[in-house]
Amino acid sequence: MSNITLSVSALLLDMDGTLVCSTCDVEKVWRLWCQHHQLAPEPVLAMCHGMRSREVIRALAPQLDVEWEAARLDELEMLHTGGEAIAGCDELLRRLPPQRWAIVTSASDRVARHRLNCAGLPLPAVLVGAEDVIKGKPDPEPYLLAAAWLGVAPADCLVFEDAPAGIESALRAGSTVVQVGGNRRLDPAVAAVIQDWRQVKVGDGAGGALQVTLLT
């Protein structure tokens, strides 16, 4: 096992599949939604991870009222949330200064906070959710906005992501990306792949920066 050490200003973190084991919950919600509309679930499940429900609906069911259906999916997600925290993230998050990290999620603010509470994770001072942006992942807007709210440059941020849409979003924003989960890089530009947060150590770096060591 080798180490990679990076000096950054802030950490920007995806939530589903990155901090919380919620893949099964997310897929269950989309299957229920597809069943209600008599839609084949396979195309939806292939697209939905890491993306806002609005983008998925526009792409695969444009005949439906996007905002109405997004609200319906929100309610389903509130009912079907029970994921556990990914190993090691609780301890790490509680040690980070609040102004040095943010969550950037395709879930709504309400669903994100509910899911974090259910997983026993601390709530961030900065949370960019589905309703905070005009364009969701893979557009860079969510990560650009999170960096701006923290008052740091996107290029000085380290992003942790698990899904192709989120990785693309962060890379297009100009940030360095660490992939959480998987046996191969989903994008060749990913700096490292980790399986859980026990492989991440954060300390004080020079000039007030965060020194992040990845045990890869």
Catalytic site positions: 14, 16
Q: Which residues does 147 contact at the CB level (< 8 Å), separation at least 6?
A: 10, 12, 153, 154, 156, 157, 173, 175
> What DSSP state is assigned to residue 30?
H
Distance, in Å, from the CA atom of 156 to the CA atom of 34, rounded to the nearest integer, reads 40
Distance, in Å, from the CA atom of 54 to the CA atom of 69, rounded to the nearest integer, reads 8
Backbone dihedral region for residue 88 (phi beyond 0: left; psi -120 to 50: alpha; all else: beta):
left
Distance, in Å, from the CA atom of 152 to the CA atom of 164, rounded to the nearest integer, reads 24
CB 204 within 8 A of CB 6: no
Q: Which amino acid is at 11?
A: L
Residue 140 exposed, middle or buried by CB count within 10 Å (0-12, 13-18, 19+): buried
In what order do the strands lie in the sheet containing 3-8?
3-8, 210-215, 200-204
**Pairing verdict, β 3-8 and 210-215:** antiparallel
